[in-house]
């Protein structure tokens, strides 16, 4: 997953982008980068690591200009290398072009092969680079036409921000998998993956970039164009609501915190427990646990204390640290849990290994019973649109029944929110979400068998 | 403030110390260090920064031996320089000696002056170095006697761990200001500032090191000695309970989380509010807010979302970042707060600047009323025993009435927990805490006017 | 200027390349790089700086495989940036390709423009990259054909070494501007800019790569092909003999040291002086000074002592250091020079500023007379084939008479070797050298006005 | 060996010191450091490596003030660690004190032991630190008296520069082992190991600091005091003339280049050869080779070409590189040497391994005969006064006859300059040099058996 941010027409464009990326840090912790421009020169700083560690005063001072785009990355395609960090800046026949991409292109390998056959040389192993080559190959004289030509050819999930000599261009794939929002700050405009970045810099949230929209911002003002495509149905990623987005963001028109709390309430209705305490897996399970507690009347208690000097389980790229991470990150409160019947709330179960460790930790701390409640349906299918889920084989729910999972994680009971319950919570009446990770109904087909699929047990 | 940790007789002494320091990271984020030994050689790595960033695999592999001590530091005396980071390792006439210190010596400058007059040359500006010079100057042949001679001369707060060629020695000042606990792991022993470090490494918590105790651990086993002193009354730092220690630690015999939750309950009894929501300042205000909510029946709600990629307000050494930090760290949830009457819970108010920003942020997000409730009495006096409070002049409560503070922070009402309420919560019947920051009754007098005092308005 | 080196079929290919580059360090000190391969994977390390500082043990250990190419660079085109350092390694449709280039392409900008129009995206601003794109664009299935197709299109000076999955390919432009030699080491082959690299690794010097030759080395053995071209006359760079190559190399079939000494002898015949001492500008003037001394019978004396912790005047990229450099690098021996008539020998005068400083330094040290003798004709024209001479305007000899130059450098007399004298020394009977820097007769015309020319005063 | 430099009363004190250290770089390449002061604050930068690599613009800008001292180090006592780099800066009872030391104290270990017994704690393993502790222990109120008290106790070789709040103090041991000279620059004074540093900064050479002199420079002016001692005979290090000092320095009142050339002349008188060429081992053998050539009439020829990107054999601290170094550093000119009878000139033979490699290299290049001539007597004894010679066992001349050495180095003949010849060259009539490395007559006795002696075969 990644976070993207852009500013047009503000004297401190790079500083705002730095703050915006900081607010989007939860979307990617592997690398961060900013490319800025004053319309004459381009300034760029991209580095592995966290935003606060990378952008020191002297670096920000070098990122001059009234326009900037930024990117925080967690790898989906391409290895964890600096050459794969974004924004991706190139100098081609028509000048400089910088691009920041959130999403995943499913026909990347096919397109790359075709381009290379015609003599293109790739600098990275990122799927995003293919868009740049398609733009460079286009014969059109207008950058907008070149972008449209390129985006017509790529398939999959993409929210994009481009920076040219005189324009900031935002684009969102016709399905609208990933969020992308527009804001206003003084005389300038800002574009961001999530609204929480606008709150930090005190920008005004105007609206979402629409699925299939190309939004062009330049000295003339702001205007829209469309990516050529059969208008497909909307396919907003439901996992942005469940797990990925920050609780203080408005995503796909909904407040994330309240939605998550509501998932907890519906969960309490669907699966009540006779228990003493509602305990969240911090921090991701907290909103649903508050909702469950409110609906059930069972007291909410912080039975697990989190060490915040680590980061987020889902997001660290090294497998070894992820396993060790549960102990490094969470500690159970014996004096709170002893002899208590616990409802344990989390947002999802991926491999089951973390849940198993947490349940065991609670029991070792004296909990009499642990009833696990998950505020989403069981994750049965991998994501090909930008969420870094493992292959199907590794998803415990793809090959085990709920009771088998319950036994594995050593819980006294286990219940997943129903898909209907989830749809009720998001008020899904227009069929505008992608639930592929739950039901396997993938909105965009894959022209080629992808690695994750090869390993699956369809 | 600092955190200290030691291991004796374990094949992975440095690895355990690394984990222990990670669990104690909240006690100091400026530098971290480990000194280990196999009884022949000493191995040392000390660096500015966080534990997880400093101790990579290749560094831990070099820290050989069955004994180790570690330290995380937030500066109280001495500047933020590597030469002031600990453990402090020296080679003197009788061999090597490493020391890790949590606390603050009030007669450091006097002792340093005397030692320098006799020709001692100091390498750092840490108060802890004076202990090492006193040990080096002693004529006694026994390291225990040399330590006793040195500690007899220093005044103030100290929890100490020493590492010699064949011993791990723990000592706690006769007042017992700072915590220090003993644990057991397999055939070895561990010493730590807090018990949360034992939970992580699955060590068994045995007991506290007593005030005035010197605990010697070597191949022969474990035995106690005493620091020569008139046995003073115990003076446990109440702020360890209120703010400093981790909620999952047992400190001075009490579970910190439950104690903080109880402060919230008493606060609700002392100062009820007709409100819609109880909102904590995360993370420090959460336990008290849960207690307040439970006692009052007003729903607990996460109205402020914290960005965890920053750290802890209290602990960053640079003033400029601290101010900017409130916005970088917290965001208000408009959809939750709009038109609501809020009880805002925090553990303390130091300068008032942060509280003011938070109250304003809640109001800007639409809150109708903000009633601030503090789960400790007002902080009127600076600490000289190791907590990095500012000078008296900077403590807003030292020169302003509660109503003046309320106006400054723009709250609709403000109430501090009473000192009696606090004493009730800690079941203070034996008069064993230091409340100097609240009542100015300093257990250890200062032989010399210290800088913080010079600036105060006594 | 640059130095290139390659090894095929030796178990320590990267180590040999490291040593080879060390021997070629005088050809470029800005950056150094090695790309090695075992036929499966490519290993690469390229860095700004000197060979000895860059290639530490742990880096060399990572450069595995039986094939390697290396490069040391002093920038001729492209700025002093890491992205412009070589070898240049790309992954294109037909696999990996690495290239190391010494020379300068005069039609680089035209070719780049054409390639970019067709959609190619350049990663660097080096002229060498154009060769790679031309290879990638070729439809031929044979790498040799693709290289021939590419080299047919580029114009100018190039000695090249390519590394593919299973071949080492060396090529030298049809004019033969830059040297390139073939050697044998055990069962493997080595290719180098100069023979001095063979001496260091104890390889046997076989022969020069011929002008216009493409030499292919693979598991089958070694065979030659030709770059398609009208066979032009040879145009060996005379400046390799005069200044650039190491005195212990055999270049264009001649021993450089003896040739330079001979230039000094002819200079003594052409322009004798009644003097007390022959003093060289160290180190470049030493061989000619020994020759002058031998021929004239005037004693040779080290009147200028060089500080070797600096580097070579000609080669440091920063102008400011070059000026300061004369004092940092040379010191005059007062006790030797006092009241003496001096013949001062150097190989060339570029801007005149350095010579002026040296003459003044000698006079300040007490020299009675300073008679400057230059062991080459006056440098009137800029080089477009790889030597980093300044623009014509900056070449003092392009706009000043010998007497004007003598006055500027404050010498008592000044004499340049005649072009005939030079031709006599190199036994020029077959007209096989490029003397363009002396006579302006450029063997390869430029399809486009180059920057250096724009600034000149033709 | 080390080089030291100091400036008093110049607005660019640190810049001058930087240049001075650059000129003294040949005296030590392991580390370099500068401490400057404006009388209020001290500024310090000390790092492993070469002067040009360490002192960048931004570092020099931080080294403010009108006073500075600097040091370049090659380790004699103490390991190659940053903590052992100088200048050594401490804060003791009477303020700050910085010290730069060239030489070696023979009673360091005894004094250190005594100081540690009294409670002093050492920060480094340098002998120089003992001087600082002795100064700190002194009860005298005058810094001059404290320095005199300290220097009275230390034995051995030392040239020292101290920097205090308001004084620059230079001192030279009563024997005068190491050089130390005084210069004037505008209104300020400079002190340096060698005069070549004065030439670079255009300072005027005034005089040597006398053996046993303490020279104090402050706002009042300049005055002298004496180190309390029985005035011993002068013992100037003869090796400074033969090898260590730069040829363009005036050392002990003599021009080093002319002296070395004269050694070559006397060598030619003592041991003529019927040969074709005189070839120096560059760079150290060049002056003597010019002298030998002049005296004998045999032509001087550069038969060995040196690669200057390495450094000086004698001075690299790692043994492995020293061995490899001969090939990395020198290359023989086949076309010059073939079938020739060679007189090979070097300044000394230490272990014999390098000479052996060079002779073999000449023969492999085709030399018919190689007659080695050494411009100093055979080195039979180790130095304890600051030159980093190996232990006696490793000195080939201590246990082998001249003919055995000749066989080992594979030369056709070998001759060392006679001690009488050497004395004639330095016009030794007042018996003012230390020849201990040749005759074993050590001017300062050792209170304790030193490591180098323990290994010797007396």
Q: Which is nearest to C79 in space by CA: C114, C130, C31?
A: C31
Nearest CA of chain C to the CA of D19: how many Å? 8
Q: What is the structure's pLDDT at C455?
A: 39
Mutate to test the interface with C, among A121, A130, A134, A135 (most CBs of C within 10 A): A121
Active-site residue identified among A2, A196, A434, A437: A2
Pairwise CA distance, residues A423 & C418, whole Å: 93
Q: What is the structure's pLDDT at B310?
A: 67
Whether residue B404 is predicted with pLDDT greater than 60 in this model: the reply is yes
Residue ranges in chain C modelled with pLDDT below 70: 75-80, 310-325, 447-458
Considering the segment(s) C256-454 as one domain, its CATH architecture is: 3-Layer(aba) Sandwich (3.40)
Question: Cα-flanking dihedrals φ and ψ of residue C252, to 5°?
Answer: 50, 35
Pairwise CA distance, residues A391 & A378, whole Å: 15
Give the CATH class of D250-454.
Answer: alpha beta
Whether residue A316 is predicted with pLDDT greater than 60 in this model: the reply is no
Q: How far is CA B433 from the centre of its chain?
A: 15
Q: What is the structure's pLDDT at A197?
A: 96
Question: Cα-flanking dihedrals φ and ψ of residue D312, to 5°?
Answer: -110, 130
Pairwise CA distance, residues D50 & B83, whole Å: 24
Given its phi and psi angles, is residue A145 left (phi above 0), alpha (psi -120 to 50 degrees) or beta? alpha
Q: Which is nearest to B286 in space by CA: B256, B316, B317?
A: B256
CA torsion angle for B10, B12, B18, B19 (degrees, to 10)? -80
How confident is residue A78, by pLDDT bands cut at 50, 70 and 90?
Answer: low
B42-51, B264-273, B420-429 — which one is most confidently predicted on average?
Answer: B264-273
Q: Which residues of D touch C328 (CB under 8 A)?
A: 19, 22, 200
> Which tens digits make up the pLDDT trace of B373-391?
999 999 999 998 988 777 7
Q: Which residues of A touch C136 (CB under 8 A)?
A: 116, 119-121
Nearest CA of chain B to the CA of D55: how many Å? 21
Q: Do C91 and A121 touch (CB under 8 A)?
A: yes
Asked if residue B45 lies in contact with residue B66, where contact means CB atoms within 8 angstroms, the answer is no
C364-378 residues labelled b (16+ CB within 10 A) or e (exposed): ebebebbbbbbbbbb
List subunits contacting chain C, requiring 3 or more Cβ pairs under 8 Å: A, D
Give me the DSSP letters along D303-331.
Answer: -EEE-TTS--GGG-S-HHHHHHHHHHHEE
**Which of B201-215, B232-246, B302-316, C1-15 has the least mean pLDDT?**
B302-316
Specify the length of chain D in residues: 458
Pairing of strands A433-434, A236-237: parallel
Give the CATH class of B255-430+449-454.
Answer: alpha beta
A248-279 residues labelled b (16+ CB within 10 A) or e (exposed): bbbbbebbbbbbbbbbbbbbbeebbbebbbbb
Pairing of strands C95-105, C156-163: antiparallel
Asked if residue D378 lies in contact with residue D416, where contact means CB atoms within 8 angstroms, the answer is yes
Chain D CA closest to residue C260: D302
Mean pLDDT along residues A47-54: 88
How confident is residue B393, by pLDDT bands cut at 50, 70 and 90?
Answer: confident
Inter-residue long-range contacts of A61-65, CB under 8 Å, 24+ positions, other chains counted: A63/A13, A63/A14, A63/A34, A63/A36, A64/A14, A64/A36, A64/A38, A65/A13, A65/A14, A65/A36, A65/A37, A65/A38, A65/A39, A65/A41
Chain B CA closest to residue D120: B120
Considering the segment(s) B2-232 as one domain, its CATH architecture is: 4-Layer Sandwich (3.60)
Q: What is the structure's pLDDT at C320?
A: 36
Q: What is the structure's pLDDT at A324?
A: 56
CA geometry: angle C160, C164, C166, nearest 5 deg: 125
Specify the length of chain A in residues: 458
CA geometry: angle C8, C158, C104, nearest 5 deg: 135
Q: What is the structure's pLDDT at B456?
A: 38
Q: How far is CA C261 from the centre of its chain?
A: 20
Q: How far is CA A23 from the centre of its chain?
A: 13
Handedness of CA D285, D287, D288, D289 (dihedral sign): positive
Give me the DSSP letters along A404-421.
Answer: HHHHHHT-SEEEEPPHHH
Per DSSP, helices labelled H in D63-207 are 108-117, 129-137, 143-153, 196-201
Pairwise CA distance, residues C349 & C355, whole Å: 7
Q: What is the structure's pLDDT at C231?
A: 78
- Picking from A51, A311, A335, the nearest residue to B255 by CB comes out as A335
Q: Do C25 and D257 touch (CB under 8 A)?
A: no
- Picking from C92, C93, C119, the nearest residue to A136 by CB comes out as C119
- Picking from C52, C199, C302, the nearest residue to D290 by CB comes out as C302
Q: Which residues pair with B67 in a beta bridge?
A: B8, B37
Q: Do B121 and D119 touch (CB under 8 A)?
A: no
pTM over 0.90: no
Q: What is the structure's pLDDT at A394?
A: 86
Pairwise CA distance, residues A74 & C324, whole Å: 48
Q: What is the structure's pLDDT at B78?
A: 58
Mean pLDDT along residues A358-381: 96
Nearest CA of chain D to the CA of C261: how many Å? 10
Each residue's pLDDT tens digit in chain D (458 positions)?
Answer: 899 999 999 999 999 999 999 999 999 989 999 999 999 999 999 998 888 888 888 899 899 999 999 999 986 555 667 778 899 999 999 889 999 999 999 999 999 999 999 999 999 989 999 999 999 999 999 999 999 999 999 999 999 999 999 999 999 999 999 999 999 999 999 999 999 999 999 999 999 999 999 999 999 999 999 999 887 889 999 999 999 999 999 999 999 999 999 999 999 999 999 999 999 999 889 999 999 999 999 999 999 999 877 643 333 333 333 345 677 889 999 999 999 999 999 999 999 999 999 999 999 999 999 999 999 999 999 998 988 777 777 899 999 999 999 999 999 999 999 999 999 999 877 789 999 999 999 999 875 545 554 433 33
Mean pLDDT along residues B195-209: 95
Nearest CA of chain C to the CA of A391: how many Å? 27
Mean pLDDT along residues A197-219: 96
**Active centre residues of C (catalytic):** 2
Residue C139, exposed/middle/buried by CB under 10 A (0-12, 13-18, 19+)?
exposed
CA torsion angle for B413, B417, B418, B422 (degrees, to 10)? 180
Q: What is the structure's pLDDT at A76?
A: 56
Q: What is the structure's pLDDT at A345?
A: 98
Q: What is the structure's pLDDT at D223?
A: 96
Task: List the end-to-end C-alpha distance of chain C, in Å, as a whole number.
Answer: 25
Chain B CA closest to residue A365: B199
What are the extents of the domains in chain D?
2-232, 250-454
C139: contact with A, CB 8 A cutoff: no
- CATH 3.40.50.2020 applies to domain A255-433+442-454: yes
Asked if residue D293 lies in contact with residue D285, where contact means CB atoms within 8 angstroms, the answer is no
Pairwise CA distance, residues D427 & B83, whole Å: 52
Nearest CA of chain C to the CA of D305: how many Å? 6
Q: What is the structure's pLDDT at B49?
A: 87
Q: Which residues of A touch C93 (CB under 8 A)?
A: 113, 116-117, 119
Whether residue A3 is predicted with pLDDT greater than 70 in this model: the reply is yes
Mean pLDDT along residues B293-314: 82
Pairwise CA distance, residues A405 & A395, whole Å: 11
Q: What is the structure's pLDDT at A455?
A: 39
Specify the length of chain B in residues: 458
Q: What is the structure's pLDDT at C421?
A: 96
Pairwise CA distance, residues C173 & D173, whole Å: 65
Whether residue A195 is predicted with pLDDT greater than 90 in this model: the reply is yes
3 state SS of B341: strand
Pairwise CA distance, residues B35 & B49, whole Å: 16
D52: contact with C, CB 8 A cutoff: yes
How confident is residue A52, by pLDDT bands cut at 50, 70 and 90?
Answer: confident
Asked if residue D38 lies in contact with residue D72, where contact means CB atoms within 8 angstroms, the answer is no
């Amino acid at each position: 997953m990644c976070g993207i941010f852009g500013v047009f027409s503000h004297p401190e464009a790079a500083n705002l982008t730095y703050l915006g990326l900081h607010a989007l840090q939860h979307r990617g912790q592997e690398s961060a980068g900013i490319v800025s421009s004053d319309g004459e020169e381009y300034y760029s700083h991209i580095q592995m690591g966290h935003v606060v560690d990378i952008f020191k005063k002297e670096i920000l001072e070098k990122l001059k200009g009234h326009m900037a785009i930024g990117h925080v990355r967690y790898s989906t395609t391409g290895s964890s290398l600096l050459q794969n960090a974004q924004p991706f800046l190139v100098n081609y026949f028509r000048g400089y072009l910088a691009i920041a991409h959130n999403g995943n292109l499913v026909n990347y390998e096919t397109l790359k092969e075709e381009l290379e056959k015609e003599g293109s040389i790739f600098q990275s192993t990122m799927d995003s680079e293919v868009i740049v080559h398609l733009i460079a190959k286009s014969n059109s004289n207008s950058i907008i036409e070149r972008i449209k030509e390129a985006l017509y050819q790529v398939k999959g999930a993409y929210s994009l921000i481009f920076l040219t000599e005189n324009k900031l261009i935002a684009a969102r794939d016709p399905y609208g998998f990933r969020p992308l929002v527009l804001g206003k700050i003084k005389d300038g405009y800002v574009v961001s993956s999530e609204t929480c970045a606008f709150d930090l810099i005190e920008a005004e949230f105007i609206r979402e970039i629409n699925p299939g929209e190309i939004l062009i911002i330049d000295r003339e003002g702001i205007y829209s164009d469309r990516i050529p495509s059969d208008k497909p149905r909307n396919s907003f990623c439901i996992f942005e609501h469940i797990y990925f987005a920050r609780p203080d963001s408005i995503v796909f028109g909904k407040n994330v915190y309240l939605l998550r709390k509501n998932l907890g309430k519906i969960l309490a209705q669907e699966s009540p427990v006779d228990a003493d305490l509602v305990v969240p897996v911090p921090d991701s399970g907290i909103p649903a646990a508050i909702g469950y507690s409110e609906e059930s009347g069972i007291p909410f208690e912080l039975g697990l204390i989190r060490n915040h000097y680590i980061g987020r389980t889902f997001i660290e790229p090294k497998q070894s640290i992820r396993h060790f991470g549960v102990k490094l990150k969470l500690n159970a409160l014996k004096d709170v849990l002893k002899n208590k019947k616990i409802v344990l709330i989390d947002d999802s179960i991926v491999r089951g290994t973390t849940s198993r460790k947490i349940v065991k930790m609670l029991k070792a701390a004296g909990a009499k019973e642990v009833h696990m409640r998950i505020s989403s349906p069981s994750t049965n299918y991998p994501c090909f649109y930008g969420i870094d889920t493992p292959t199907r084989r590794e998803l415990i729910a793809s090959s085990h029944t709920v009771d088998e999972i319950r036994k594995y994680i050593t819980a006294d009971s286990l219940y997943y929110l129903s898909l209907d319950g989830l749809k009720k919570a998001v008020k899904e009446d227009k069929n505008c979400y992608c639930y592929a990770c739950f039901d396997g109904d993938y909105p965009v087909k894959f022209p080629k068998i992808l690695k994750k699929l090869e390993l699956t047990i369809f």
